[in-house]
């Protein structure tokens, strides 16, 4: 077994945290913030210097096999040579110009040809942009105001959906009615409470609230959502920001035979280049054309070139299958290791996006300890967020991960 240096230091990382605190409120904010108040151990790096394939190096030179993939964007691997070559070629011609280039149209054509229900596409930069655009399109199409969403479901960092109420006023959320995920009766009650005024049902393909078991809904629920939208004239918005290209290239609810009216996509679209998309059906085309949404960088050429190359690479290398295979080997290995060390763990969520929790642990102490032990051995996991496996995780990468997580489980077991 390879000897792992568990005494790695984060000196440069600590210096950068202090510098950031002086000039940025909170230092680092949002889901990328790595601090104790976010449930992260002190061994977890905040600042990184570079990445390659499934590996990351922090600013202190420590190497990690990364099971977070930048929280999802890296689907073809860091510094993927095919994607980066396409991005460099477009950059040499220009990125943000006075108007879009041909790649903008080409990628829209490619996306419409890939996503099963898509008749058109619009673009922005972040997942929040995409979910916000979807809501506005639905309201423009229906002339209604109410949004039905699952309780605690995250759909972006705008005032409607942000998990924090700081700076949010009651009117921002006055038109949201919540239901229980995967509970069709609850959804029906929510719709009945605002009958005649439902603009959209907003739902994630699988439940991925933080800190809870993550799962796909029943086929009955998915089909019931579609039927309710059809019956009430509401738009069905599928928030695929997290699942883009990680479950099914054609759409995450194709497994149920359910196609939404609008899909919000981001993260893995361009393998780390900033891009999000809304794709939709023809009946919403006029409404989509009627709204005013814009951004000075939304039609920049480099992300579109990268996105085309990412999609080509995923198709040509059968990236989705390789990702799912790697995810299954990882999950099987983690389960066997935990059991061998007498630790009860539960793994949920899609194969390519595993969520691991320890049994009977309301305050995450063991999960944080495991994350700490793994990070000190050069593996990045997360104590309360789902992980991500990419098509760049080779069998050798997964074997390295499992060698090190076995040691991490052993350390946790000894401390209990």
pLDDT tens-digit map of 175-201: 999 999 999 999 999 999 999 999 999
Residues 290 and 406 in one domain: no
> Is 5:40 a contact under the CB 8 Å cutoff?
no
- Residue keyed to tokens 């990445």: 51
Residues 194 and 206 in one domain: yes
In total, how many domains does the chain have? 2
> Is 78:51 a contact under the CB 8 Å cutoff?
yes
> Is 287:234 a contact under the CB 8 Å cutoff?
no
Asked whether residue 86 is domain-assigned, the answer is yes
Is residue 58's pLDDT more than 60?
Answer: yes
Is residue 413's pLDDT more than 50?
Answer: yes
* Chain mean position to CA 8: 29
Residues 296 and 405 in one domain: no
Is residue 2's pLDDT more than 50?
Answer: no
Which domain covers residue 374, as residue numbers?
A: 36-66+318-415
Residues 306 and 347 in one domain: no
pTM for the whole thing?
A: 0.95
Residues 281 and 322 in one domain: no
The stretch 213-226 carries a mean pLDDT of 97
Is residue 26's pLDDT more than 90?
Answer: yes
Asked whether residue 7 is domain-assigned, the answer is no
The stretch 69-93 carries a mean pLDDT of 98
Residues 40 and 164 in one domain: no
Q: What is the pLDDT of residues 346-378, one digit of tens each?
A: 999 999 999 999 998 878 999 999 999 999 999
Residues 300 and 330 in one domain: no
> Range with the lowest mean pLDDT among 161-165, 212-216, 279-283?
161-165
Asked whether residue 270 is domain-assigned, the answer is yes
The stretch 15-44 carries a mean pLDDT of 95
Backbone angle region of 378, left / alpha / beta, with phi > 0 → left and psi within -120 to 50 → alpha: left
Is residue 5's pLDDT more than 80?
Answer: no
Residues 201 and 334 in one domain: no
pLDDT of residue 240: 98
Asked whether residue 355 is domain-assigned, the answer is yes
| Rg (alpha carbons) of the chain, rounded to whole number | 22
Mean pLDDT of the chain: 95
The span from the CA of 154 to the CA of 125, in Å, is 18
CATH at 227: 3.40.640.10
The stretch 120-128 carries a mean pLDDT of 97
Residues 182 and 54 in one domain: no
Q: If we measure between CA atoms, which residue out of 82, 52, 63, 54 comes closest to residue 394?
A: 54
The stretch 236-242 carries a mean pLDDT of 98
The stretch 79-88 carries a mean pLDDT of 98
Asked whether residue 309 is domain-assigned, the answer is yes
Contacts of 408-414 with C-beta under 8 Å, sequence gap 24+, read 408/370, 408/373, 408/374, 408/377, 408/379, 409/337, 409/338, 409/340, 409/341, 409/343, 409/370, 409/373, 410/341, 411/369, 411/373, 412/341, 412/343, 412/366, 412/369, 412/370, 412/373, 413/341, 413/342, 413/343
Domain boundary among 293, 316, 339: 316
Asked whether residue 297 is domain-assigned, the answer is yes
pLDDT of residue 1: 31
CATH at 45: 3.90.1150.10
pLDDT of residue 6: 57
Is residue 116's pLDDT more than 50?
Answer: yes
The span from the CA of 47 to the CA of 181, in Å, is 35
Share of the chain above pLDDT 70, in %: 98
Give the 3-state DSSP-derived string for the chain, with helices as H, strands as E and coil as C: CCCCCCCCCCHHHHHHHHHHHHHCCCCCCHHHCCCHHHCCCCCCCCCEEEEEECEEEECCCCEEEECCHHHCCCCCCECCHHHHHHHHHHHHHCCCCCCCCHHHHHHHHHHHHHCCCCCEEEEECCHHHHHHHHHHHHHHHHCCCEEEEECCCCCCCCCCCCCCCCCCCHHHHCCEEEECCCCHHHHHHHHHHCCCCEEEEEECCCECCCCCCCECCCHHHHHHHHHHHHHHCCEEEEEECCCCCCCCCCCCCHHHCCCCCEEEECHHHHCCCCCEEEEECHHHHHHHHHCCCCCCCCCCHHHHHHHHHHHHHHHHCCHHHHHHHHHHHHHHHHHHHHHHCCCCEEEECCCCCCEEEECCCCCCHHHHHHHHHHHHCCEECCCCCCCCCCCCCCHHHHHHHHHHHHHHHHHHHHHC
pLDDT of residue 7: 66
> Is 394:54 a contact under the CB 8 Å cutoff?
yes
Is residue 4's pLDDT more than 70?
Answer: no
Domain boundary among 316, 335, 364: 316
Q: What is the pLDDT of residues 279-323, one digit of tens each?
A: 999 999 999 999 999 999 999 999 999 999 999 999 999 999 999
Residues 53 and 143 in one domain: no
Asked whether residue 354 is domain-assigned, the answer is yes
Is residue 3's pLDDT more than 70?
Answer: no
Residues 150 and 227 in one domain: yes
């Amino acid at each position: 077994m390879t000897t792992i240096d568990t005494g790695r230091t984060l000196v440069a990382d600590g210096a950068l945290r202090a510098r950031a605190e002086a000039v940025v409120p909170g230092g680092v904010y949002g889901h990328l913030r790595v601090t104790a108040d976010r449930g992260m151990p002190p061994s977890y790096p905040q600042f990184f210097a570079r990445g390659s394939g499934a590996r990351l190096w922090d600013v202190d030179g420590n190497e990690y096999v990364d099971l977070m993939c930048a929280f999802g964007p890296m689907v073809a691997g860091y510094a993927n040579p095919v994607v980066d070559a396409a991005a460099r070629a477009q950059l040499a011609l220009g990125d943000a110009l006075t108007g879009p280039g041909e790649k903008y149209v080409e990628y829209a054509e490619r996306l419409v040809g890939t996503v099963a229900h898509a008749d058109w596409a619009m673009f922005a930069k972040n997942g929040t942009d995409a979910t916000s655009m979807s809501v506005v399109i639905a309201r423009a199409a229906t002339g209604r105001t109410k949004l039905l969403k699952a309780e605690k479901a995250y759909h972006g960092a705008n005032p409607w959906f942000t998990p924090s109420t700081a700076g949010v006023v009651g009117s921002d959320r006055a038109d949201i009615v919540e239901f229980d995920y995967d509970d069709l009766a609850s959804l029906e009650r929510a719709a009945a409470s605002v009958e005649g005024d439902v603009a959209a049902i907003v739902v994630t393909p699988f439940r991925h609230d933080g800190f809870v078991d993550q799962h796909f809904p029943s086929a009955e629920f998915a089909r019931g959502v579609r039927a309710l939208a059809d019956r009430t004239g509401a738009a069905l918005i599928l928030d695929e920001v997290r699942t883009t290209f990680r479950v099914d290239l054609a759409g995450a609810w194709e497994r149920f035979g359910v196609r939404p009216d609008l899909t919000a996509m981001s993260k893995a679209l361009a393998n780390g280049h900033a891009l999000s998309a809304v794709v939709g059906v023809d009946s919403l085309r006029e409404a989509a054309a009627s709204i005013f949404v814009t951004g000075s960088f939304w039609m920049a050429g480099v992300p579109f070139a990268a996105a085309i190359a990412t999609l080509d690479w995923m198709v040509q290398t059968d990236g989705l299958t390789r990702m799912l295979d790697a995810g299954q080997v990882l999950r099987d290995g983690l389960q066997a290791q935990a059991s061998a060390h007498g630790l009860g763990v539960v793994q949920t969520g899609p194969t390519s996006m595993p969520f691991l929790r320890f049994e009977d642990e309301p305050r995450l102490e063991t999960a944080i300890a495991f994350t700490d032990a793994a990070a000190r051995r050069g593996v990045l996991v997360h104590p309360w967020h789902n992980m991500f496996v990419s098509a760049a995780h080779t069998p050798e990468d997964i074997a390295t991960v499992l060698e090190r997580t076995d040691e991490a489980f052993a350390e946790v077991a000894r401390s209990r």
